[in-house]
Amino acid sequence: MKAAEKLLIEQIRAVDQPAWEQLIGRYEGRLMAFVESKLRNPSISEDVIQETFVGFLTSLPNHILIRYHMNTRRRINLY
């Protein structure tokens, strides 16, 4: 993980709203493109992305980036 990503995660852990917005801005588009390519349903794709970001926040105390990505794939498979 890059130093910039580690810093961003630490800022989010410290409840830094601009850092959270930066994370969403950085990854939301790519995640949406990936999920929509699999599900082909924009409404469900938005739900999956929202659940993924909430899951990321929930996992922050024990954050492992690989788990975050695997959970995204698992959520896609639920639909």
pTM above 0.75, yes or no: no
Nearest to 31 by CA among 78, 68, 79, 67: 68
Domains of the chain as residue ranges with CATH: 3-78 (1.10.1740.10)
| Pair of tokens at residue 18 | 């601009």
At 70, the pLDDT band (50, 70, 90 cuts) reads low
CA distance 33 to 18: 23
Q: How far is CA 70 from CA 51, 64, 67, 76, in A?
A: 13, 10, 5, 10
- pLDDT per position as a tens digit, 24-68: 999 999 999 999 999 999 999 999 999 989 888 888 876 555 455
Coil/strand/helix, residue 64? coil
| Pair of tokens at residue 13 | 């852990």
